């Protein structure tokens, strides 16, 4: 389903495409080896840190958003924390999909400000040579 989470905000499909675009660009330059899974894990950790009162994007990544060196599955840990921080609610707007959407949207925005002069990410070409597409094709 491709729906707007809120008026004035990008659709869920647009946010995911922006994540892939940012990862495609960053993995070939400033953050070699970055994967979509790394982006998810980082976005979820940051979202959980914001939910406990660390609302200052300038301080990210802070000590509160870092995982222990010996965490065998950091994405699982970040997902568990995200679910724990967003319990089921009777409110329509308080769903886990909304939390994921906001986490990824914030991550994309932070990466854009930090590495792309606060501009939208160019979407990767669907041609041979795209790092993300080659990774998917080789699985």
**Mean predicted confidence (pLDDT) in 86-98:** 76
Per the prediction, the chain carries an average pLDDT of 78
Q: Residue 125's pLDDT is what?
A: 66
Torsion of CA 64, 68, 73, 75, to 10 degrees: 20
State pTM to two decimals: 0.73
Residue whose entry in the numeric block shows the structure tokens 């609610």: 89
**Mean predicted confidence (pLDDT) in 78-88:** 85
Q: Is the pLDDT of residue 66 over 70?
A: no
Sign of CA pseudo-dihedral 106, 136, 81, 114? negative
Q: Give the CA radius of gyration of the chain.
A: 15
Structural tokens at position 82 = 């995200």
Instruction: Give which of 132, 123, 127, 115 is closest to 10, Cα–Cα.
Output: 123
């Amino acid at each position: 389903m491709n729906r707007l989470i809120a008026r004035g905000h990008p659709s869920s499909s647009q946010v995911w495409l922006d994540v892939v675009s940012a990862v495609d660009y960053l993995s070939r330059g400033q953050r070699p080896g970055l994967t979509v899974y790394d982006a998810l894990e980082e976005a979820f950790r940051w979202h959980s840190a914001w939910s406990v009162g660390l609302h200052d994007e300038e301080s990210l990544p802070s000590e509160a958003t870092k995982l222990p060196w010996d965490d065998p599955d950091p994405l699982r840990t970040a997902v568990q924390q995200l679910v724990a921080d967003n319990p089921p609610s009777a409110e329509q707007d308080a769903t886990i999909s909304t939390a994921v959407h906001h986490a990824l949207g914030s991550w994309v925005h932070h990466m854009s400000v930090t590495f792309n002069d606060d501009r939208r990410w160019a979407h990767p070409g669907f041609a041979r040579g795209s790092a993300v597409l080659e990774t998917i094709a080789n699985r």
